[in-house]
Amino acid sequence: MEENPQHPVSVCWLRRDLRLYDHRPLYRALSGKNPVVLLFIFDTDILDPLEQKKDSRVHFIHDTLKEINEKLVACNTSLIVKHGKPDQIWKVLLNELPVHEVFAGKDVEPYAKRRDKKIEKLLGEKEIPFHLINDHVIFPDVYKDNGEPYLVFTPYKKRWLERSRAQDVETYDIDPLLKNLCSFAPRPMPDLTQMGFEATSVPFPGKTIPKEIIKNYDQTRNFPALRGTTRLGVHLRFGTVSIRECIKLAQNLNQTWLSELIWREFFITLLDHFPHTIEQAFKEKYNNISWRNNRTEFDTWCQGQTGYPMVDAGMRQLNTTGFMHNRTRMIVASFLTKHLLIDWRWGENYFAQKLLDYEQASNVGNWQWAAGTGVDAAPYFRIFNPFTQAKKFDPQQAYISQWVPEIGSEKYPSPMVNHSAARIRALETYKEAIS
């Protein structure tokens, strides 16, 4: 087998589409005339700023790449895995490989767009086409009649559903095309420690789509003590499961689950068009809120020691497992921004460090929703009462007892703020900001 291919090749650059089935960019690459090489870059521009070197996402990606590579080795090829800055890696790679075309999935996060612009320029200097192909969402372009993006979910969803009725979701069968992979000897992959990271003990949810959970989703999704949601977030984030497969199942099995997948597409479309919302309130006047930003109170929230059992259960679930149930995500976000008047960006940032399924578009969109500063957001005066929420969604206290076992004992702190007083303070502060 060749050490390095000498003939023209196409490169399929994997990023957030880490699978070898139903994969649009790979399908396009394999359908062309050149043999295909698969590449992944551990990007130091993303990895270096990560504070925690036991990062579950890096571990998850590494495990997934090993799995992909095993399959590729069985097809007489190998994944090329590099570690460094993408533009520098590409400069070297273009000297090693006779690259004729590059295919990759489109990514709308602001950093990804900047990175891809740089690489497009670099490839352009050698007249190598760079094809960015939508793979991460079904419809990246659901717009109003006047071509503007929707700012309200319900009409967006209505238009999305109209599109899906008019146009079947396609699948892209890779298996018959695998013969078009470029054969060459297996390549070594950097291990986690070489890149300065360590393995974690966070459990990774399985890749099998749980059909029974989806069937009952509308009945079970709001109760954090139940295994009532799919835990597919991390797989949708890194493309280890195909969104097209999920949407087709949702269309047949459960409209409520379909709706959640459409929220995901809504937030991704919004981030594409309003990248400034990663740092600023979508509604400009909400930039004037006088956040209290008390560091000690923030730490108390992070550690799950607020004295509000539902909030503490959520934060401890997050800290221990890298996952938090959606109902509790809403409760802890409301508590941070309203009860404690701490800037939603602090909370967004903490979730970004901890969540295995961290997705910038969904995290920013949902944090702004909870803080009342975003598009189609919960109105600022709707402030969750964490005690009422617990009664409604954890009536047997099963979730709370699991994460806050010392509840009812002297060890458990009393509430760090009084609910009614904190509510009034939040209402006054928000009102002042937007008047």
Ligand X SMILES: Cc1cc2nc3c(=O)[nH]c(=O)nc-3n(C[C@H](O)[C@H](O)[C@H](O)COP(=O)(O)OP(=O)(O)OC[C@H]3O[C@@H](n4cnc5c(N)ncnc54)[C@H](O)[C@@H]3O)c2cc1C
Binding residues (CB under 6 A) for ligand X: these are 221, 229-233, 236, 260-261, 263-264, 267, 326, 329-330, 333, 351, 355, 357-359, 362-363, 366-367, 370
* Residue 265 annotated as catalytic: no
Q: Which pair of structure tokens corresponds to residue 139?
A: 């419809």
Nearest approach in angstroms of CB 173 to ligand X is 24
Catalytic residue among 344, 348, 359, 406: 344
Q: Does 348 qualify as catalytic in the annotation?
A: no
Residue 240's alpha-carbon distances to 27, 136, 169, 237, 274, in angstroms, are 16, 11, 18, 8, 27
Closer residue to ligand X (CB): 34 or 229: 229
**Shortest gap between Cβ of 296 and ligand X (angstroms)?**
22
Residues 237 and 356: their CA atoms lie apart, in Å, by 9
Cβ distance 80 to 39 under 8 Å?
Answer: yes
Identity of the amino acid at 9: V
| Active-site choice (367, 369, 385, 403) | 367
Task: At 80, give phi and psi (nearest 5°).
Answer: -95, 120
291: annotated active-site residue = yes
Least separation in angstroms between CB 391 and ligand X:
20
Is 13 one of the catalytic residues?
no
- Closer residue to ligand X in complex, CB, 34/366: 366
State the catalytic residue, choosing from 67, 120, 245, 260. 260
Closer residue to ligand X in complex, CB, 206/395: 206
- Within 8 A by CB and 6+ apart from 295, the residues are none
* Separation between Cα atoms, residue 188 and residue 178, nearest integer Å: 21
Q: Which is nearer to ligand X, 4 or 255 (CB)?
A: 255
Min dist. Cβ of residue 203 to ligand X (A) = 14
Q: Is 260 a catalytic residue?
A: yes
Ramachandran class of 127: left when φ > 0, alpha when ψ lies in -120 to 50, beta otherwise: left
| Exposed e or buried b per residue across 69-102, where buried means at least 16 C-beta atoms within 10 angstroms of its C-beta | beebeeeebbbbbbbbbbeebbeebbeebebbbb
Question: How near is the Cβ of 172 to ligand X at its closest, in Å?
Answer: 20
Residues assigned a catalytic role: 260, 263, 291, 326, 344, 367
